[in-house]
Structure 1
Amino acid sequence: RMNVGQILETHLGLAAKGLGEKINRMIEEQRKVADLRKFLHEIYNEIGGRNEELDTFSDQEILDLAKNLRGGVPMATPVFDGAKESEIKAMLKLADLPESGQMQLFDGRTGNKFERPVTVGYMYMLKLNHLVDDKMHAR
């Protein structure tokens, strides 16, 4: 079970990783710097709602930025004034991913599809470091 914040984080993580992979493909295909500049402009200015002056970057700076974003585009969202559903859907669409953030998965043993699409994405996990054995020996 996931709460709303975890679902938001998962969808944003999927979009961030998908955008990074698309940037990586563009670099590997040796696409023009103008294409990279346009794609980065879409990410930061059109969907992200920011006003980054990417036109002032040199071609080498655009390539360096794109190489830094290969693993995923960093994202942050405020708690109560966070990313809107329309913005998340636009990011997923731009990354060529399903706008719902859900994908059809298959059972690893049988190879059959699961009944419904499943939410897929990236999420930060933290393991609490307080095991029972350690507590017993400390008492």
Structure 2
Amino acid sequence: FEDNIDVLSSLQRPKKIVIRGSDGQLYPFLCKSQDDLRVDSRCLDFCHLFNKCLKKNSETRRRQLNIRTYAVYPINERCGLIEWLPNLCTFRSLVTKFYRQRSSNFSEVSNREIKVYGNSKDKTKETRYNVSYI
């Protein structure tokens, strides 16, 4: 293991760790606790199966369609490691960029505010998540 650990600012505060392999290469991982990654692992198994189907079809093979996958290693019911993929952006950063481009008075919503919206007792999704259809 490398000496430095980065703590991410998302809700669960996952840690980015780097492991030096026996081949001398560095392998970064996201270490998540308080999360069951077995479901993530099963979803990725499905993505691998779907990619096999895409490769069997001549049109999707010609267009080189596939789902980008990554490794997930569940350690137990409460934690695991996720392969860190460089040069990717988070879904949150894409959504934030989208809203900033469309609204001059948009300020970034905190994780705490998102949790409040998600736990709202309002009956409709539109009011619970402050959704507007465009």
Task: State the TM bucket, normalised to the shorter chain.
Answer: under 0.3
- The answer to which structure has the higher strand fraction is 2
The TM-score normalised by the length of structure 1 is 0.24
- The answer to which structure has the higher helix fraction is 1
The TM-score normalised by the length of structure 2 is 0.25
Q: Quick one: higher RCO (CA 8 Å, sep 6+), 1 or 2? A: 1
